Structure 1
Amino acid sequence: MSFLLIISPWRIYSTEERRGERIRKALEEAGTIFIKFGQLLSTRPDLIPTDIAQSLHTLQDSIAPFPTDKAKEIIEAELDSSIEEIFTDFDPSPIAAASIAQVYSAKLKDTKEKVAIKVVRPGIDKAIDRDISLMKKMAQKAEKYSLDARRLRLFELVKEYEAVIKTELDMRVEASNMKQTKRNFKDNSLLYVPEVYLEYSTEKVLVMEKISGIPVDNIKDLKGKGVDLQLVSERGVEIFLKQVFVDNFFHADMHPGNIFINALEPTSPSYIAVDYAIVGSLDEEEQFQIGRMLLSVIGRDFLAISNILIDSGWVDPKTRATDLERTIRSACEPMFEQPLEKIKFGELLLYIFDSARRFNLHMQPSLMLLQKTLINIEGLGKQLYPQLDFWSIAKPFLQEWTKDRYNPKKIEAWARKNAGLWLEKARKLPEVAENVLDQINKIEDYQKDNEIRHEELITTLKRERRGTRILIFISLIVLLILFLSWTIN
């Protein structure tokens, strides 16, 4: 009950603490599952105010370890072998403990390789089901009596959270994510991913290479090893950009507890990342729009940002770009009065999203994970090297990436890949176009006869007509590219 009183807008007692801090403390008191829900909320600036999102971003997931005897039982049941048959030097003291799992160190008996064994906490699935059920009931009640709760789509948000946290329970998913990231960086030394031993990994147990490195936030030890902190911070940004815009597969939980630095070569340090339970990816359109948005932010082109938000369907399509531009400009312009190296790019995006909330901003979870990852990476970078200039690294990368998107060979490859789909759509275009035009004519006739304005409907239909024309034009371009490539070949 105290939890509801602390976070509710109608709370009956006053406090000098900021509302974000009150909510954060209430979630921490409510327990692990609520902490993780708060962490999810911190990635949704389209739903909650910036100050609350920033407070929730500091939520820490810590919990007492469960008994090692129970962990051994789970390992032996999952691997259908005794600990002694597979491992040696099994350390009964966990090296890490969190709400979902805890980690032990050992060696593989056959190869003597040092490994880390991640074991899912017993009974966590039932605890999650119980807490999720409670959260759904709370969300339904809140939506019944609160307009704000309905606007926040609390029940939908809880369901989204349920899907995310249940994915974290399956160690096979994390193993697959690690394998994918390792493939993405096989020819790149910026990020090292521990090896996964699939033959010893199941739904509840993950066995991976045990890594050694300096925690990324241990600046004292990094300096003691002579590590170039500026280079480390800049490489973090490069890793982020590569994962998002080249691999389209990014580690979405890049907080200090999951990041280590390999300092064996202090002048060429590399990152080591663990805990791949949460990853993100964007579809092609989202990726392109995010790239455009980042370049527009760098160029302080607030009208372009507004058009991107509208064209992407992230805000109400009836929004006037100039109205949205004024709102975003008034929120962000003061930040640009600082030197560029002092501006936090991730926080700037938070301000943009917060400004756009009044225009019914709604973005996909993958985009929110991206924003959270950017804040983490930039925050780590600024902690290591306060003068980190995200802009100077991102701008040339994004300009080159944008140029590469229009490379003729890539366009040809895209055309070949999508030729069948476009040809099928092109075959149906005359019928679709005729139906759209008939609908417009009928609506316009009805409007004249009854002197009733159907402006919104007509606008929508005209947009469809423009879309049809664009579709026809693109189809012709695709057909032309295919024809030319086949002729040349």
Structure 2
Amino acid sequence: MSQNNQKTLSSQRRLVQIITILKKHHLAKGIDPVKFRMILEDLGPTFVKIGQIMASRQDMFSQRYCLELVKLRDNVAAMDIETVREVIEDEYGKKLSDVFEDFDEKPLGSASIAQVHKARLKEDGRDIVVKVQRPHIYEMMERDIALVRKAIKLLKLNEVLGSVVDLNIVLDEFWHTAKEEMDFLNEAQFARKFAKLNADICYIGAPVIEMAFSTHKVLVMEYIDGFDIDNLIKLKENGYDVEEIAAKLAENYIKQIVDDGFFHADPHPGNLRIRDGKIIWIDFGMMGILSHNDKDLMKTAVMAIGKNDTQKLVDVILTLGEHDGRINYTLFYDHIETFMSHYVSADLKDINLGDVVQEIFTIAHKHRISMPKGVSMLARGLVTIESTVMLIDPHISIIEIAANHVTNHMANHFDLKKELTNSVQKLYNSSQNFLELPIQLSDIMRMMMKGRLKINLDIVESSVPLISINHMVNKLVVGIVSAGLLMASSLLCTTQMTPKVFGIPALGFIGYMTAVGLGIWLLLTVLKEKKKKK
């Protein structure tokens, strides 16, 4: 039998296996979180990975499902040493013994995509760890993804699970994430970038990546000894202040988010060690990346919660989120206002960040607002880092550290060292709103282009003719364009651009005249409508 026929047969058998498992759990009778977790476990490593991704998407899936799927753990038998040897020798084109002086056959850890071994380099005797990818894992996962799409159609699973999950969205995100994770050179670049961004922080470190020995399927890095970060007895015995470790760990994580926009997405204790007075981060297979705009929105969200500014938090969520369909803005605002009221009188030290994040994502889920990948990874990371630092110091408040970091960052940025009085604060806020007008216009244009700009109207008593709404929107657009032209023309006046008209750059002069014309037209239109009503 040819290789292609064998592959087809294997795929057919796997499809039958998948359908059999799904039928065994009686999906037609409904589904609950426990049943869903058991199905994923029965289906194997690919689906366990899918479930782990789902557990981090509280904006897409209900909290009940996310909490249950957190229980999923990789439960994969370790590769035998012959298989490991074959993968390494295929990648290097030479024998294992030509590269490593010593290679520990017992793995340090084994997961669905790869396993890790301790070894020693032959060229200089340095202790290192070798991460080896399972053979054919890419092809196996690709096959499983294709087959589960077929199973979804055959069993009409989206009709059964429609109110719980959109399986196609889950599969798309999983496959994108898995492909990145299966290219170890991505992880190598992530680790080097992380080390560079944190090079100036004396108490933070990362393992050195041995690029000369790293390939797409084999990753070699410095071996990190020292102490587990949650081994408090050993840390105290060796003179470490665990409260200081917790505070520095939390501060560094907030710095990764707010300053760098590049953060470790899985900061559990197993990925952190203490060595020579430094917190060493390891395993960079899953990193979160935030755009400059998303970073600014995160700062705004923290400040909005701190100031109990419901409108600002609503704006942040709607700008960040993606949704298909009409949002009931009034109801959404009410839900956010109720959420804010829970924390308005609470001390920051008493607020649990995990609860805050879960509540916001639950509200977003209710209104079918999903967050970008970087933001959902951030939510998962924040919940994980809070549980990690609280293992070290139960009295720490990561949300207080975050608020202080953001406040100090913004104060330094604007050189506001003293607290402003109420009148000056109002003037400052007004100027900030004016300066942010071009950015807001840009956000509006971006949302329009992505089809995400929604206008919600509560029409009371008699229905309003659509033509009236159309006129109202037209006037709003003219007002925004006029304000934008005035702002842009004012900025042009600060330059030495030529030619000039009456000492003003010609382009700026044209902008002013156009803005004035639009303003006069708008004023006359309003007066005319007012006269008609009388």
Cα deviation for residue 368 of structure 1 reads: 0.3
Alignment: residue pair count: 435
- Mapped to 2, the partners of 1:75 and 1:65 lie a distance apart of 16
Question: Is it true that 1:108 corresponds to 2:121 in the alignment?
Answer: yes
- The structure having more radius of gyration, on CA atoms, is 2
Cα distance change, pair 354–276 in 1 and its aligned pair in 2 (3 A): same
Aligned with residue 41 of structure 1, among 36, 43, 54: 54
- Equivalent residues in 2 for 1:325-336, closer than 5 Å: 325-331=333-339, 333-334=341-342
Quote the residue 1:188 is aligned against: 201
- Mapped to 2, the partners of 1:345 and 1:206 lie a distance apart of 35
Quote the residue 1:350 is aligned against: 358
Aligned with residue 349 of structure 2, among 326, 341, 345: 341
Cα distance change, pair 127–352 in 1 and its aligned pair in 2 (3 A): same
Question: Is it true that 1:285 corresponds to 2:298 in the alignment?
Answer: no
Cα deviation for residue 6 of structure 1 reads: 5.6
Aligned with residue 215 of structure 2, among 202, 216, 219: 202
- Equivalent residues in 2 for 1:162-241, closer than 5 Å: 162-241=175-254
Asked if 1 retains the 8 angstrom alpha-carbon contact of 2:28 and 2:160, the reply is: no
Quote the residue 1:304 is aligned against: 312
Asked if 2 retains the 8 angstrom alpha-carbon contact of 1:331 and 1:351, the reply is: yes
Question: Is it true that 1:396 corresponds to 2:404 in the alignment?
Answer: yes
CA RMSD of aligned residues (A): 3.3
**Identity in percent:** 25
- Mapped to 1, the partners of 2:221 and 2:199 lie a distance apart of 17
Aligned with residue 386 of structure 1, among 384, 394, 403: 394
Question: Is it true that 1:242 corresponds to 2:255 in the alignment?
Answer: yes
Asked if 2 retains the 8 angstrom alpha-carbon contact of 1:342 and 1:387, the reply is: no
AA at the equivalent of 1:373: G
- Equivalent residues in 2 for 1:313-462, closer than 5 Å: 313-314=321-322, 319=327, 322-331=330-339, 333-334=341-342, 340-403=348-411, 453=466
- Mapped to 1, the partners of 2:482 and 2:156 lie a distance apart of 42
Question: Is it true that 1:65 corresponds to 2:65 in the alignment?
Answer: no
Cα deviation for residue 144 of structure 1 reads: 7.0
- Mapped to 2, the partners of 1:133 and 1:325 lie a distance apart of 40
Superposed CA offset, 1:122-177 (max 9, x none): 12112211221233234456777528527843212211110100111111111111
Quote the residue 1:487 is aligned against: none
AA at the equivalent of 1:90: F
Cα deviation for residue 390 of structure 1 reads: 1.6
Structure 1, gaps ≥5 residues long: 13-18, 409-421, 427-431, 433-450, 485-489
- Mapped to 1, the partners of 2:312 and 2:483 lie a distance apart of 21
Superposed CA offset, 1:299-334 (max 9, x none): 333332123223445467964655323213435644
Quote the residue 1:442 is aligned against: none
Query: TM-score w.r.t. structure 2 length?
Result: 0.73
Cα distance change, pair 241–40 in 1 and its aligned pair in 2 (3 A): same
Quote the residue 1:437 is aligned against: none
Question: Mean Cα displacement is larger for which, 33-42 or 151-160?
Answer: 151-160
Structure 2, gaps ≥5 residues long: 1-19, 417-437, 446-463, 498-534
Asked if 2 retains the 8 angstrom alpha-carbon contact of 1:5 and 1:11, the reply is: no
AA at the equivalent of 2:338: S
Query: TM-score w.r.t. structure 1 length?
Result: 0.79
Asked if 1 retains the 8 angstrom alpha-carbon contact of 2:261 and 2:290, the reply is: yes
Quote the residue 1:27 is aligned against: 40
Question: Is it true that 1:11 corresponds to 2:42 in the alignment?
Answer: no
- Mapped to 2, the partners of 1:194 and 1:133 lie a distance apart of 37
Superposed CA offset, 1:256-307 (max 9, x none): 2222222x34xxxx32122211212111221111111122223333332123
Asked if 1 retains the 8 angstrom alpha-carbon contact of 2:119 and 2:128, the reply is: yes
Aligned with residue 171 of structure 2, among 141, 147, 158: 158
Cα distance change, pair 312–177 in 1 and its aligned pair in 2 (3 A): closer
